[in-house]
Structure 1
Amino acid sequence: MTILWNTFLDQRVELLKALWEHLQISLTALLIAIVIAIPLAIWATHHKNIAEFLLQITSVLQTIPSLALLGLLIPLVGIGSVPAIIALVIYALLPIFQNTYVGIDEIDPSLEEAADAFGMSRLRKLFKVEIPIALPVIISGIRTALVLIIGTATLAALIGAGGLGNFILLGIDQNDTSLILIGAITSALLAIILSALIKFLQTARLRTVIATVGVIIVGFAGASTYQAVSQPKENIVIAGKLGSEPDILIHMYKDLIEDQDKSVTVTLKPNFGTTSFLFNALKSKSIDIYPEFSGTVLESLVKKSGQTTNLSAHKTYVKARDALKNQFNMAYLKPMAYQNTFAIVVKKSFAKKYDLKTIGDLAAIENQIKAGMTLEFINRTDGLKGINKKYGLNINARSMQASLRYEALNRGNINVGDAYSTDSQLKQLNLVMLKDTKHVFPPYQGAPIMSEKLAASHPKLVQALNKLAGKISDEDMQKMNYEVNVKKESAAKVAKKYLISHGLLRDAK
């Protein structure tokens, strides 16, 4: 309990930010769903055949797995809050539409006849008779939709929309139960509080309901307007992949940029997703900068030309830099010293038992291999595909989230996994990296990637980030990852401590 409380105190600022993002996404989706579903259901009460068709459609939409729906939306509307809101609206339509339709359709016919006898117009009857009678059922549907939305909105973190899901994903990645609990408990409390508010509206008058919705809309509009007005003219958005290392790097970028140029502020989007998410976000200008590795650029992001294997670290970087500039008009700044290369790892006891020193040694025990690897590694040519091809292996790996495959290795559920050479878990779990004698893994030096336009218009920004060129050794990076993952220090604190201790940032004290 003490650890949970200390984590809460340490993360309270980030938690408030994530809570606000979660609330924005959830209520925006709910309001849009209400505006679509309620009028449509009211209209459908006078068109029974179409009503049944619409109920079937909304039911089918809700059966689509949330991850699949987000994946389908990304090519259409990009990443961030927009696809998340669209997906949440789709999930909220069924309970609101169904309850509104049933609530109005099941009104006692004698009441409808009485309203007609008084000469009420259709619109007047709707607002004076039908909606007031059906209101408790309608509100019940809205309440169900809200709880569904808040729970599903945690997945928005997977596509860079932020919210409380960031804490859950980060907790899973760092094997930190406290972070997972903070995200889950806060999400549950948010659902309970808002559900209680909506339950109160079930017994309220129609005017009260309309006034409450109006206040929410005005409040959000006001807050959004204030954010837009107060937002500085120069705001640089920096994103990072999931994990402690990208989180440390983007905090370094933020500190260096804001120290160099006081007219610029930086917004960070940690745990943004995989390589393809980030690169597409950069191309669509959803973000401005993110750290990427030279080997990843050559193997996954650009069209290859000429020799791309067995190159030195410098030549790999130069080739990646030139390809980004020529093919995407992007700038790839000077790289850091360390190389966060892929690796195949096994427990030390397993390596000793079978005398495993190189990846090729796995051929002798191929029928005993139980592999677990990240989905990205499994599907990359500089990952498992390349390993199987160059070493003549036929390893079939189960896809696992990064931290979970370390847990599986530690427990013995798997005996072979992928890793990054600077991961803290290598030291923590006493793992051995098998030597890549056939050079499947190219050099991986990290550097900031951005548009040429941004680099040209912000020379101070480039100057600030280039302070990291040639800095950070493999040992430095592994130590910092250890401090975040094992000692549970914040990435921001670890990043700033390194910059100050190496004379790259002035100590604010």
Structure 2
Amino acid sequence: MENLLETFNERRGELWSELLDHLGISIISLLIAMVIAIPLAIWVVRHPKVAEIGLQVAGVLQTIPSLALLGLLIPLVGIGTTPAIIALVIYALLPIFQNTYLGISEIDPAIEEAADAFGMSKMRKLFKVELPMARPAIVSGIRTAMVLIIGTATLAALIGAGGLGTFILLGIDRNDMPLIIIGTISAALLSIILSLLIRWFERAKPWQSLVGLAILVVLLGGGGIYSAYANQQQTVTIAGKLGSEPEILINMYKELIEDENPDINVELKPNFGKTTFLYNAVKNDQIDIYPEFTGTVLETLIDDESIDTQGLSEEETYNQAKEKLQEQDQLTLLEPMSYNNAYALAVKDEFKEEEQLESISDLSNIQSDIQAGMTLEFIDREDGLRGIEDLYNLDFETSSMEPALRYQAIDDGRVNLIDAYSTDSELREYGLSILDDDKGLFPKYQGAPLMSTEFADENPQVVEALDKLGGKITEEEMQEMNYEVNVEDETPANVAHSYLTDNGLLEEDE
């Protein structure tokens, strides 16, 4: 409890900011869904066959996995709040549409006939009879949609839209339970408060509802208008993948760029979840820069099956990655840093000593005793488990796990072998050793800034600033910085600043 309160006090400013983002995305999505679903449901009441089709379509849309939907939307509308709102609107359509349709269509026919007997027009009957009688069902659908939106909106953090999902995803990645609890409780409280607010709207008089709605619009829109016009500097947007290491790097990028040119304002978007999200974002000019790895470029991002990374040197890997990026998508990969954040297989120190393990080849002697926990991405990669099975002729039992959970699993003894990155702070934290890749399966993974060639040509000062990191940062230094963030609770910004000043890339603070 003490740790929870301490984390809350440290991050309450961030919490308030993310809470407002979450609230804004949720309410805007709900309002758009209502504007679409309620009139459409009213219209199809008179067209039962169309209503059936509409319900089927809305139901099918709701079955699309949210992460897949976000991935499909990024190439079309970019990153940030736009794809998040579109996805949330899609998920909210079914409960609002269905409840509105059922609420009106199930009104007693005798009441409908009585309204007709009084000579009411269709419009007057709708507003005086049908909508008032269907109101409880409609409001119930809206409340269901709101709860659904609040929960699903946590994934908006994966595409740079912010929200309470930032706390949850960061907590999972860093194995920080207080962050997860704060994000989860905040989302639950927000859902309860908005549910009560919707109930108030149901009981309020029309003029009160309009005033309340106007206040919400002003509150939600004011911040966006202020942000758009308050700062007229050139803005460079830098994003990073989920985890401490990318966040440290993008903070370094920010300081170096702003130090080189104080007229440039750098906006950071940390904790994106997927490589492909970021890659599509930079291709579509939704972000300007993000840190990528040379091996990832060749293995994942370049559409060329003839590429073989096995046995390539660091220089050869970088040169191929740079050349292929330019040819395929007119993107530029700047000079990489020194460290190689390669894939690796790791075991507990005592297990390594007990089984006399030094290399991956040594696992062949204990295949039947191996219980492996690995990320789904690693399991499915040719330079991951598939390649290990083929090149090393190994076959052992493997369970798929989220990145942070596999470290907990090996520490608890539930597994005895995991995949890792060579700069992970958890290697030091949990007392793990990396097995030597004695047959050279894993490609070289050196980090470097990735941007469009057009952006690089138009911003030589940005390129010059980022090139200062070329050839810098060893694996030991990167692992230590990750450890400071993940274990010692230093902020990525402070760790980044300390490295830059300690190594003469920035002047010391006065």
TM-score of the superposed pair, with normalisation by structure 1: 0.93
In structure 2, how many angstroms separate the alpha carbons of the residues matched to 1:83 and 1:461?
A: 29
Partner of 2:198: 198
In structure 2, how many angstroms separate the alpha carbons of the residues matched to 1:269 and 1:250?
A: 9
CA contact (8 A) 1:238 1:250 kept: yes
Partner of 1:382: 383
Partner of 2:409: 408
Partner of 2:346: 345
What letter is aligned with 1:255? E
CA contact (8 A) 1:77 1:83 kept: yes
Partner of 1:123: 123
Distance 1:42 1:205, change over 3 A: farther
Partner of 1:287: 287
Partner of 2:172: 172
Say if 2:255 is the partner of 1:262: no
CA drift at 1:486: 0.8
Partner of 2:363: 362
CA contact (8 A) 1:174 1:243 kept: yes
In structure 2, how many angstroms separate the alpha carbons of the residues matched to 1:234 and 1:505?
A: 22
Q: Which moved more, 1:76-85 or 1:476-485?
A: 76-85
Q: How do residues 291-440 of structure 1 correspond to structure 2 at under 5 angstroms? A: 291-302=291-302, 303=304, 308-395=309-396, 397-440=398-441
CA contact (8 A) 2:298 2:307 kept: no
Distance 1:231 1:137, change over 3 A: farther
CA contact (8 A) 1:139 1:201 kept: no
Distance 1:232 1:369, change over 3 A: farther
Distance 1:120 1:207, change over 3 A: farther
CA drift at 1:79: 4.4
CA contact (8 A) 1:298 1:304 kept: no
Partner of 2:242: 242
CA drift at 1:183: 1.0
Q: Which moved more, 1:335-344 or 1:10-19?
A: 10-19
CA contact (8 A) 1:132 1:206 kept: no
In structure 1, how many angstroms separate the alpha carbons of the residues matched to 2:301 and 2:52?
A: 47
Partner of 2:139: 139
CA drift at 1:77: 4.6
Partner of 1:483: 484
What letter is aligned with 1:29? S
CA drift at 1:60: 4.0
In structure 2, how many angstroms separate the alpha carbons of the residues matched to 1:499 and 1:200?
A: 53
Partner of 1:276: 276
CA drift at 1:156: 2.2
Cα deviations across residues 458-482 of structure 1 (Å, max 9, x unaligned)?
Answer: 1111121112122212221111111
CA drift at 1:215: 4.2
CA drift at 1:93: 1.6
Cα deviations across residues 276-323 of structure 1 (Å, max 9, x unaligned)?
Answer: 222122112221111111222222222376774323323322232222
How much is the aligned-residue C-alpha RMSD, in angstroms? 2.3
CA contact (8 A) 1:42 1:101 kept: yes
In structure 1, how many angstroms separate the alpha carbons of the residues matched to 2:397 and 2:250?
A: 34
Say if 2:216 is the partner of 1:216: yes
CA drift at 1:272: 0.6
CA drift at 1:107: 3.7
Q: Which moved more, 1:253-262 or 1:143-152?
A: 253-262
Q: Which moved more, 1:90-99 or 1:455-464?
A: 90-99
In structure 1, how many angstroms separate the alpha carbons of the residues matched to 2:60 and 2:434?
A: 47
Q: Which moved more, 1:339-348 or 1:203-212?
A: 203-212
CA drift at 1:264: 1.4
CA contact (8 A) 2:75 2:280 kept: no
CA contact (8 A) 2:74 2:280 kept: no
Say if 2:52 is the partner of 1:30: no
SS at match of 2:311: coil
In structure 1, how many angstroms separate the alpha carbons of the residues matched to 2:55 and 2:468?
A: 59
In structure 2, how many angstroms separate the alpha carbons of the residues matched to 1:387 and 1:244?
A: 27
Structure 1, unaligned runs of 5 or more: none
Cα deviations across residues 438-469 of structure 1 (Å, max 9, x unaligned)?
Answer: 11112222111111111111111112111212
CA contact (8 A) 2:75 2:281 kept: no
Distance 1:310 1:55, change over 3 A: closer
Distance 1:299 1:272, change over 3 A: same
What letter is aligned with 2:190? L
SS at match of 2:346: strand
Partner of 1:251: 251
CA contact (8 A) 2:75 2:284 kept: no
CA contact (8 A) 2:42 2:101 kept: yes
SS at match of 1:240: strand
Partner of 2:84: 84
How many residues get paired?
509
Q: Which moved more, 1:300-309 or 1:133-142?
A: 300-309
Partner of 2:456: 455
Partner of 2:465: 464
Cα deviations across residues 135-160 of structure 1 (Å, max 9, x unaligned)?
Answer: 23322221121111101111222344
TM-score of the superposed pair, with normalisation by structure 2: 0.93
Partner of 1:93: 93
SS at match of 1:161: coil
CA contact (8 A) 2:74 2:281 kept: no
SS at match of 1:271: strand
CA contact (8 A) 1:336 1:470 kept: yes
SS at match of 2:271: coil
CA drift at 1:71: 4.5
In structure 1, how many angstroms separate the alpha carbons of the residues matched to 2:428 and 2:220?
A: 47
Cα deviations across residues 215-272 of structure 1 (Å, max 9, x unaligned)?
Answer: 4345434443333223535211111111111111111111211222222112211111
CA drift at 1:74: 4.8
Distance 1:364 1:141, change over 3 A: same
Distance 1:106 1:274, change over 3 A: closer
CA contact (8 A) 2:100 2:138 kept: yes
What letter is aligned with 2:59? S
Distance 1:143 1:306, change over 3 A: closer
Q: How do residues 33-52 of structure 1 correspond to structure 2 at under 5 angstroms? A: 33-52=33-52
SS at match of 1:100: helix
CA contact (8 A) 1:378 1:399 kept: yes
Q: Which moved more, 1:33-42 or 1:258-267?
A: 258-267
